[in-house]
Chains A and B, each alone.
Chain A
Amino acid sequence: MIRLEDLSVTIHGAPILSEVSLDIAPGKVTGLVGESGSGKSITALAMMGLLPHGSTASGHAWLEEGDVLAKTEREMCTLRGNRVGMIFQEPMTALNPLKTIGDQVAETLVIHGRATKREALEIARARLARVGLPEDRFPLGRYPHELSGGQRQRVCIAMAVALNPELLIADEPTTALDVTTQAQILDLLKRLVAEEGMSLLLITHDLAVVSGLADHVAVMQAGRIVEQGPTEALFRSMAHPYTRKLFAASSHQPARVAQAEDVPLLTVENAVRDYATARLGIFGQPGRFRAVNGVSFTLRRGESLGLVGESGCGKSTLTRAILGLDALQGGAIRLDGQEIHAGPHLDATIRRRMQVVFQDPYGSFNPRWRVERLVAEPFHLSPEHLPDRRDRVARALEDVGLEPEAMHRFIHEFSGGQRQRIAIARALITNPDLIVLDEAVSALDVRVRAQILDLLARLQEEHGLAYLFISHDLSVVRSVTDRVMVMKGGEIVEEGPTEAVFAAPAHDYTKALIAATPRIPADWQGEQNA
């Protein structure tokens, strides 16, 4: 049993956690849910004694051998990795790139004096096999860069559970992973808890992940636990308004009417896109990699078309070709009958009719420009100088729910959600027919995401826009598209009306994707909407 009692943390005087109390039962999974900045990661770091510089913690974190917060650094070192293990969100950077995976797993054992180097490697071998990396395919001498993200997360898990700790803390362990990989990792964690009798503290922003895995759930907002209880009971009752808001946002369905006309707007015919891989030396021939392999589809005027797939499936490459950023090696892409070529020579009138919103609200804007100039940048396409440029920017900002005065400010003065609104305003400014939404809501917290989805639905109706909605998130695609395409290995493996595809997927891969997507059981949801 691990018990947090009135845990409070301040960093440089600013309160981050306030009186957090939480019981983590042995052999069970405890979920800690909250939006970014709610303090859930700091809770975990406090339990590990790894708080950042300038932090002060008060309260207690009771383990079998006493209060963790009262221990010296030396005592904590014997505790970490031994009694409490931890894994983190970003498996790509969590491993030392210069050491083999065998050495890194064995290190946990050697550091705690539990084994000699040779014995430790033997145990590491067994532990790696235990997490699904068997010796014959993943020898101990592999380096992290030779493994995929999911495989690296398995190595991290093997490291964290090498000494059978009584508590494993997993901080957003699957957020950086694809949905099918996420399902495998969650499955592995579940099995480890069941078979090794350890406790798991699962920290996540995703209610659905928690609902499928946790026995007990705590909801965190602004450094406080606002509600906690057994998972099913908590989901059924949702006593706290914040929990209800979070839940509503995560399954939000924007009100939208299908308005697709039977007129083709964007047609892609047999698109082929090859990549040159790195050149070897000055005379070396670059290799070739086919990222998009004979893709064809039609997007109708006013339609909302989804494109889903996991990382590396070719959807970003296809997007870049559609936007005229990269040339195709075969096939053709046409907007309203006019062919799209790559490069700056693309006809301005086509460019004007197709705009884009990207994922990253922080990298999408030149930090040195004011919002007015940022939003007006696509006017570069209009040959004539526009006297009413400022009015148009003001209208676009109002359209996305911002004050026109925002145009005088710099981008760093806005939050992530506001930035995404500005990105949409920039896309609207040329009155386009089509907006490509490239993971446009993926970086946002659920409640902000719901607002942006509502905004997109409203704008579609008001301006008769067509959307190409590219995402890895099936539930979002399901809630905002008329039709959906599933992409894998550079090809579209399934395509059809969204509801039909989700209700009765035809292709095995689509089935696997849908099965892997965590969902809150439907019958848990009835009672809170009173």
Chain B
Amino acid sequence: MLRYALTRALSLGLSLVVASVVIFAVIEVIPGDPAAYMLGMNATPEAVAALRGQLGLEGSVVSRYLGWAGGMLSGDFGVSYTYKVPVADLVAQRLWVSLPLALYALALSTLIAFPVGLIAAARRGGATDYGIMGATQLGIAVPNFWFAMLLVMVFAVNLRWFSAGGFPGWEDGLLAGLKALTLPAIALALPQASILARVMRSALIETLGQDYIRTARAKGLSRRQAVLRHALRNALIPVLTIIGLQFSFLLAGAIIIENVFFLPGLGRLVFQAITQRDLIVVESLVMLLVFAVIVVTFLVDLAYAAVDPRLRRRT
């Protein structure tokens, strides 16, 4: 197990390094001179040179990369050109909106999908199954940000159960924060839950056709016991893969859906930064998002090993 975890951790580190090189290359090497790009056409050479010095853009590409990467390791993400404050401070506040939103949605999606997929598989071919399959087919087709707009129309504008947007901040208490994130999380979670429920259903149906289920039935387990004691855990393996992939979709979705609910998350920061050509902010933010996705992939790998003994001893 330890050895498996170590090899996965090594691969995690490697992915982070390669990803950071790619991001660095796109932002700082491809545009030629980032300082000139950030200031636009009309900048004087003196202004460009000054900005270059301010951003630490002097020196070779390699030493700049090492400076940037080393800075991030020690929590220094550089200084935003437009806000004139450290990027780390900018990001820290907003991360506490986007990340909880994505995790909230992931939890909701999983909580909805598991029982729904289980019921559909258990009632395979019946009316309940057809109903669930139809509903999830529709759920997959709905763009989450549009669904969010519909939720605002119904629950905030007409029913007035929730506020139409904004975020009070976590200082006002956990519940107030969660309430503000509830409509966005539902909007994000339902389409993902539709996908997950379908994966859960087909994984279970596939597992139920395996020889060891027949063996279990021959031992005297009822159909229900065979599902709960043997099929469920085996079906979890493909489901875990999808949960891992969903996190990256949900994080991206959270950034988009913040627009609908006027949430002060990473989304607004990054889109403003793009408009203002604040490459330093974009670079750090993208690295942060990719970091989150890679770490979740790593956690999913560990979860595999917890579920599947065949991986633990594969050394």
Contacts and interface: CB of A to CB of B under 8 A. Distances in A.
Interface residues of B, number: 29
Interface of B: 7, 10-11, 14, 210-212, 214-223, 225, 229-230, 233-234, 307-310, 313-315
Contact of A93 (B10, B211, B222): B211
A280 B311 CA distance: 12
Nearest to A105: B219
A146 B313 CA distance: 9
A82 interface: yes
A95 interface: yes
A437 interface: no
Contact of B212 (A50, A93, A145): A93
A48 B217 CA distance: 9
A77 B210 contact: no
Q: Chain A, interface size: which category?
A: 35 or more
A73 B14 CA distance: 55
A80 B218 contact: yes
A18 B30 CA distance: 77
Contacts of B230: 96, 99
Contact of A159 (B215, B223, B229): B215
Interface of A: 48, 50, 73-74, 77-82, 85-86, 88, 90, 93-99, 107-108, 111-112, 143, 145-146, 156, 159-160, 278, 280-282
Contact of B218 (A50, A78, A96): A50
A111 B233 contact: no
Contact of B215 (A77, A95, A111): A95
Given A81-B218, A96-B215, 13 more contacts: A50-B217, A88-B215, A90-B211, A93-B210, A94-B211, A96-B212, A96-B216, A98-B234, A98-B307, A108-B219, A143-B309, A145-B310, A281-B11
Given A93-B211, A98-B234, A85 B218 contact: yes
B308 A97 contact: yes
Contacts of A90: 211
Which of B216, B221, B310 gathers the greatest number of chain A CB atoms within 10 Å? B216
A112 B220 contact: yes
A48 B218 CA distance: 7
Contacts of B211: 88, 90, 93-94
Nearest to B210: A93
Given A88-B214, A93-B211, A107 B309 contact: no
A127 to B, nearest CB: 13
Nearest to B8: A281
Given A93-B211, A97-B234, A97-B308, A111 B220 contact: yes
Nearest to A93: B211
Which of B214, B229, B309 gathers the greatest number of chain A CB atoms within 10 Å? B309
Contacts of A111: 219-221, 225
Contact of A86 (B212, B218, B314): B218
Contacts of B218: 48, 50, 80-81, 85-86, 88, 160
Which of B212, B230, B233 gathers the greatest number of chain A CB atoms within 10 Å? B212
A107 B220 CA distance: 10
Nearest to A90: B211
13 contacts: A48-B218, A79-B220, A80-B219, A82-B220, A86-B218, A93-B211, A94-B215, A108-B219, A111-B225, A159-B215, A159-B219, A160-B219, A281-B11
Which of A86, A90, A98, A111 gathers the greatest number of chain B CB atoms within 10 Å? A98
A112 B241 CA distance: 35
Contacts of B7: 280-281
B219 A81 contact: yes
Contacts of A160: 218-219
Given A98-B234, A281-B7, A77 B222 contact: yes
A99 B226 CA distance: 13
A488 B94 CA distance: 66
A515 B187 CA distance: 70
B10 A281 contact: yes
Contact of A98 (B216, B222, B233, B315): B233
Contacts of A50: 214, 217-218
A97 B219 contact: no
B296 to A, nearest CB: 20
Contacts of A80: 217-220
Which of A95, A96, A108, A143 gathers the greatest number of chain B CB atoms within 10 Å? A96
Nearest to B219: A81
Contacts of A280: 7, 315
Nearest to A156: B215
The 6 closest A-B pairs by CB, nearest first: A81-B220, A81-B219, A93-B211, A86-B218, A80-B220, A143-B309
A77 B313 contact: no
Nearest to A159: B219
A219 B255 CA distance: 70
Contacts of B212: 93-97
Contacts of B307: 98
Nearest to B224: A77
B14 to A, nearest CB: 7
A124 to B, nearest CB: 12
Contacts of B11: 281-282
Nearest to B11: A281
Nearest to A53: B125
Contacts of B216: 96, 107
Nearest to A89: B211
A50 B211 CA distance: 13
A350 B130 CA distance: 59
B192 to A, nearest CB: 26
Nearest to A73: B222
A145 B309 contact: yes
A85 to B, nearest CB: 7
A86 B221 CA distance: 13
Given A98-B309, A143-B310, A145-B310, A107 B219 contact: yes
Nearest to B230: A96
Nearest to B231: A96
Contacts of A73: 222-223
A78 B220 CA distance: 6
Contacts of B309: 97-98, 143, 145
Contacts of A107: 216, 219, 221, 229
B268 to A, nearest CB: 39
Nearest to B220: A81
A88 B219 CA distance: 12
A96 B234 contact: yes
B156 to A, nearest CB: 45
A386 B207 CA distance: 50
Given A93-B210, A145-B309, A74 B14 contact: no
A108 B233 CA distance: 19
Contacts of B314: 278
Nearest to B213: A96
A151 to B, nearest CB: 15
A170 to B, nearest CB: 11
A95 B212 CA distance: 5
Given A143-B310, A159-B215, A108 B220 contact: yes
Which of A77, A85, A145, A282 gathers the greatest number of chain B CB atoms within 10 Å? A77
A208 to B, nearest CB: 26
Contacts of B225: 111
B5 to A, nearest CB: 13
